[in-house]
Structure 1
Amino acid sequence: MQLMDLIRYKYKTVSVVGMAKNAGKTVTLNRLLEEAAEKNIILGLTSTGRDGEKQDLVTKTEKPTIYVMENTIIATTEDCLLRSDAKLEILEATDYVTAMGRVIICKVKARGMIEIAGPDTNSEIREVAMKMRFYGAEIVLIDGAINRKTTASPSITEATILATGAVLSRDIDKVIEGTQHQVHLFNLPTIEDETMKPLIASLMEDKSYSIIDKSGNVEVLDIPTAINNGTTIGRALTEESAYVILSGSLVKKTLEDILTVTELYKNVTFIVRDATKIFIGAKDWNFFIRRGFKIKVVDKINTLVATLNPYAPQGYQFDPKEFYNRMKRNLPLPVIDVMLEEEEVHV
């Protein structure tokens, strides 16, 4: 089975997000582009940051470039167009402006290498994806740049491919643990109480930080963010509290501060929009869960597959078969080593 078999006829927008830079995300994108060409699928492609450059801007090492086929629809900036050698037809110059110029939507007329740098905001990414679909893309791939896992959010894309690899650590156990944790977060359970879902969704849209009690009454907290306000949230909890609505990010310090002021957190469920809002590492997460925190999401992230890169640009590598087999045993989803051309997806 190919990667594209997991996508075609099921999803119109798919993000490819990396656990870290050099985790194999660009190789995954190129594989998707190759498979789409074989199946005569017209793809759209954009990015939340810059990708496709010949040298990694962080490590200063050579990195894979993005190679696009004829008829691919791309959305990239004016500066990136000047560094791309594919022949392109400009379809639209959008109003979205980045530090690298306006975002331009193009159609590939002759295959070649490109650099991709798309819109800066999530709303602009959604709109650009819609435009690429209008111009003929059957499926739009969104390249989630480093530390921009927000593209995995169901509010932006329908499904996600997670790229992970040896670059995370020289310790294979730590790479597996970190990847397991990210997949676990992406699979966090949603709210089960159907009567509360509309109210919680409304509070999320209002970007408020609120507490809902067992009777459905709402107390809106006078705080702009949960960061550095865990003490305020904890002191606002009562025996009647049922849900804490966090419309922004959830970080380690917030939960630590709540722990210091109350035990009542054990009686409530903390709600975030989706797992891209959670910034807590595996060990800290497990500590908080053991202490009795319950955390759910409004929208669960649909993770299709994890792609593996056993090589790190620092010069070390894992045994590819061992890495693949251990990931396969430890992840509840298909895995594929994108560095092995003949590897198949195994469910």
Structure 2
Amino acid sequence: MQLMDLIRYKYKTISVVGMAKNAGKTVTLNRLLEEAAEKNVIVGLTSIGRDGEKQDVVTNTEKPTIYVMENTIIATTEDCLSRSDARLEILEVTDYATAMGRVVICRVKSGGLIEIAGPDTNSEIREVAIKMRFYGAEVVLIDGAINRKTTASPSITEATILATGAVISRDIDRVVEETAHQINLFNIPAVEDEDMKSLVASLMEDKGYCIIDQKGNVKVLDIKTAINNGMNIGRALTEDSVYVVLKGSLVTKTLEDIMTVTEAYKNVTFVLKDATKIFIEPKDWRFFMKRGFKIKVLEKINALLTTLNPYAPQGYQFDPKDFCKRMKKNLTLPVIDVMLEEEDLDE
């Protein structure tokens, strides 16, 4: 399966996000870069964190480096430029400051290894992606970095590739379960009514946390976050409530606390910006769904496929073919182990 065939002509910005560190995200990026070079597709590359370094700065293990081809457009920091061996033409020194210097946009004149460390904020990532397209990138790849699945948000990228792997657990069933859960979250449906969607978006931006009743009346909640405020949200619900607008994150304790004070939650729909705001484990999620919680989003994440890494830096591994077959059986997305040949997967 050619990953670039799923992207080219369809999307301008793609995020590659990992279920965990060492889930195979960098290998996926390198595969995309290789295919782009084969097809003469000019790619832009940046990150919302640091990547491409030879040793993982979190786990102190050897990790794949990022090799960029001639004509690739990259956005990285001044410090990273000094440690990269690709020959680069500086196109623009931006005003986006990071702990490793300003973000610089370059064109690769001669291929080589590179460290990528992009802007620190989502808004700056969006702006950098626009700049890279201005300089000639047909497709911009954004590395999600550790625990930064926010780059999967539709407000930042048009589509997402999810990298998962054995690093999540020694128990292959748990890896499959957690990956399937993440994809299920990505597939949470969006609010369909356009008028209500517009109202919720406006309230989320201006007020943060609100309750909408059947007549369209809005009750603004005097809270800054849903975390530790589940009981306050629950007590504010009435039999006329139909939507609960949540600007920030949704965690297990919030829903548990709502359940302790009211049954009215069964009649409302909780709306978040997108699924990257949800931090609930698979077992708890299934419990809440059975108890009648209904959750929707303003923006549904467009998940394209899942890539697999059967090897863990801790020294254990899964059988690649078995791992891939299990994932294909349980996931609703295309699945590919980028380290195996396609004919091996089909055996």
TM value normalised by structure 1: 0.98
The question of 1:245 aligning with 2:242 is answered no
Specify the code of the residue in structure 2 equivalent to 1:75: A
Residue number in structure 1 paired with 2:15: 15
How has the CA–CA distance of structure 1 residues 142 and 344 changed in structure 2, closer, same or farther, with 3 Å as cutoff? farther
Question: Residue type of the partner of 2:226?
Answer: A
Quote the Cα distance in structure 1 between the aligned partners of 2:199 and 2:321: 48
Paired position in structure 2 for 1:277? 277
In the TM superposition, 1:51-62 aligns within 5 A as 51-62=51-62
Deviations 1:75-124 (A, max 9, x none): 00111111111001111000000111100001101000000000000000
Query: How many angstroms apart in 2 are the aligned matches of 1:28 and 1:206?
Result: 38
The number of aligned residues is 346
The letter of the residue matching 2:43 is L
Deviations 1:143-191 (A, max 9, x none): 0001000000000000000000000000000000000000000000111
Q: Alpha carbons of 1:127 and 1:67: their partners in 2 closer, same or farther (altered >3 Å)?
A: same
Number of the residue aligned with 2:193: 193
Pairwise mapping of residues 105-184 of structure 1 onto structure 2 (< 5 A)? 105-184=105-184
The 8 Å contact of residues 89 and 106 in structure 1, kept in 2 or not, is answered as yes
Query: 1:300 maps to which residue?
Result: 300
Give the aligned partner of residue 205 of structure 1. Answer: 205
Structure 2 gap segments, 5+ residues each: none
Superimposed CA distance per residue, residues 196-247 of structure 1 (whole angstroms, 9 cap, x where no aligned partner):
1111111122251000001111111111111111111000000000000001
Deviation string 1:29-83 (CA, Å, 9 cap, x unpaired) is 0000000000000000000100000011122111000000000000001111111
Q: Supply the distance in 2 between the matched residues of 1:289 and 1:124 (Cα, whole angstroms).
A: 36
Does the C-alpha gap of structure 1 residues 271 and 112 become closer, same or farther in structure 2, counting only changes over 3 Å?
same
Identical pairs, percent: 81
Deviation at 1:192, TM superposition (A): 2.5
Aligned to 1:30: 30
Aligned to 2:328: 328
2:260 partner amino acid: T
- Map 1:84-95 onto structure 2 (within 5 A): 84-95=84-95
2:321–2:345 Cα contact (<8 Å) kept = no
Q: Could you tell me how far apart the structure 2 residues matched to 1:233 and 1:63 are?
A: 45
**SS of 2:195's equivalent?**
coil
Give the counterpart letter for 1:201 in structure 2: A
Distance 2:16 2:345 in 1: 16
Question: In 2, distance between residues paired with 1:188 and 1:160?
Answer: 15
Partner of 1:196: helix, strand, or coil?
helix
Structure 1, unaligned runs of 5 or more = none
Please say if residues 69 and 111 of structure 2, whose CA atoms lie closer than 8 Å, have aligned partners that are also in contact: yes
- The equivalent of 1:288 in structure 2 is 288
More divergent stretch after superposition (257-266 vs 165-174):
257-266
Deviation at 1:260, TM superposition (A): 1.1
Q: Which residue of 2 aligns with 1:100?
A: 100
**What's the CA shift for 1:259?**
1.0
Give the corresponding residue for 2:66: 66
1:194 CA drift (Å): 3.2
Deviating beyond 2 angstroms after TM superposition, the runs of 4 or more aligned structure 1 residues are 192-195, 341-346
Change (3 A) 1:345 1:238: farther
Match of 2:47 in 1: 47
Query: Contact 2:54–2:64 (CA<8 Å) still a contact in 1?
Result: yes
What letter is aligned with 2:263?
A: E
Corresponding residue number in structure 2 for 1:315: 315
1:343 and 1:214 map into 2 onto residues whose CA distance is 55
Residue 315 of structure 1: CA displacement? 0.6
